[in-house]
Amino acid sequence: MKKFSAPLLFLSVLILAILLGDSLPLSAKRFFYTLSLAIKELMIFVLPAVIFSLVFLSLSKIRVNVLKFLLLILPLICGSNFVNTLISYVLGVFCVQAEYLSSLRMVSHEATALDPLFSLRLPSLLSNDFALLAGVVCGMTSGTLAQRNPDLQLLGMRHQAMQEKISGALECFSKGFFKVLLPLMPIFMFGTTVKLAHDGMISLIVSEYLRIAGIFVLSAYGYVLLQLLVLSRFNGSLWMEYLRNLLPAAITGFGSMSSAAALPLSLKAAEKNSTNKENAAIIVPCTVNVHLVGDCFFIPFVALSILTSFGQPLPDFSTYLIFAAHFVIAKFAVAAVPGGGILVMLPILQAYLGLNSDMLGLITALYVLFDSFITCCNVAGNGAMAIIFDRIAGKS
């Protein structure tokens, strides 16, 4: 699947499911919905191993001073993601209380629910929490050993090739997972959309969720622009210079739906906006897949909106804090592929916010449709983070 064709493909699948929804016989609807649930179950079954692999690879490949990473870069990234996730909660609660989302509560639940032909239930061999923790510990240990002594072996081996072989196998596994999963995404989305159409949810999506996407664009992009304005010390000409330097990378992110594809241009922008090019070379690769302003705004806000639309109460602040902590850590397992930002978050959304299968299908469809806007915001947010890191590193 080509990255540039993904939005058109996903949109075509959604339109096809909507057009065929009423004409399909009930047995066909149940068949496609069953396939959708089976794909989701298989994905959740394999995800702990994928999370471990991606977190391990992300941390083990760091070749800067590990102590500096721990004391400066890691808190910056996690702190920023956590604050942005909390802002998304405040935004969601505000919109509900201000009745910007009041019409979302008017979802009709009188339609006959579409039941699957059967339910696939796979055992949970490894929790996502344990996979995340193990990936962080093993990845940091591997990176520390490689930094202190390039010839030192992971797990006591004498030959560095063994460590590279392990990393290569994990990378092959994670890439293979997404290579298999991405072609299944249209099937997953088709079955989910058929279910939503059967339950009368499509009109709600068309009439309401475009408005929600508009709120996301205004809030997330406004936040990044405000960050750059503050970093420029409210100097209009410097602020415009920051924006001009970031624009090529942001446009590339919008077109490719991949922060990794925009990495070379992001690095150039960071070098222009920083006082020290070495700081740019350190921070940009570290943030490309894990510091995601757009995801932190979009996913929680839309999840809260979906809970509202399904008549479910919003989580209290303490529950949301637990979700936010897991959400931030899971950022280290996000893959730089279209839709990759939502895939590793589905189990967390299900476990800590209570989204069911229909809700997960809906948020997945919305994410991939607006992935270009989300990725563009991620790239711009990383540009702002590069400036922040350069300022702090220059004083340390």
User: Which residue has better confidence, 340 or 29?
Assistant: 29
Judged against a pLDDT cut of 50, whether residue 109 lies above it is answered with no
Does CATH place domain 3-395 in 2.40.30?
no
Mean pLDDT in the chain? Answer: 79
Weakest mean pLDDT among 202-206, 209-213, 306-310, 348-352: 202-206
Amino acid 65: pLDDT: 57
pLDDT tens readout for residues 32-82: 889 888 887 787 788 778 767 766 776 666 555 555 666 788 889 999 999
* Cα 396 from Cα 394, distance rounded (Å): 6
User: Which residue has better confidence, 183 or 70?
Assistant: 183
Amino acid 224: pLDDT: 96
pLDDT tens readout for residues 95-105: 877 766 655 54
**214: Cβ–Cβ under 8 A, 6 or more apart, which residues?**
none
User: Which residue has better confidence, 205 or 269?
Assistant: 269
Mean pLDDT calculated for residue range 134-155: 62
* Sign of the alpha-carbon dihedral angle for 247, 293, 167, 170: negative
Mean pLDDT calculated for residue range 194-222: 79
Amino acid 322: pLDDT: 94
Domain ranges of the chain: 3-395
User: Which residue has better confidence, 297 or 256?
Assistant: 297
Tokens, residue 373: 């806007």
Mean pLDDT calculated for residue range 357-386: 86
* Cα 23 from Cα 281, distance rounded (Å): 55
3-state DSSP helix/strand/coil % of the chain, to nearest 5: 80, 0, 20
Q: What percent of the chain has pLDDT over 90?
A: 23
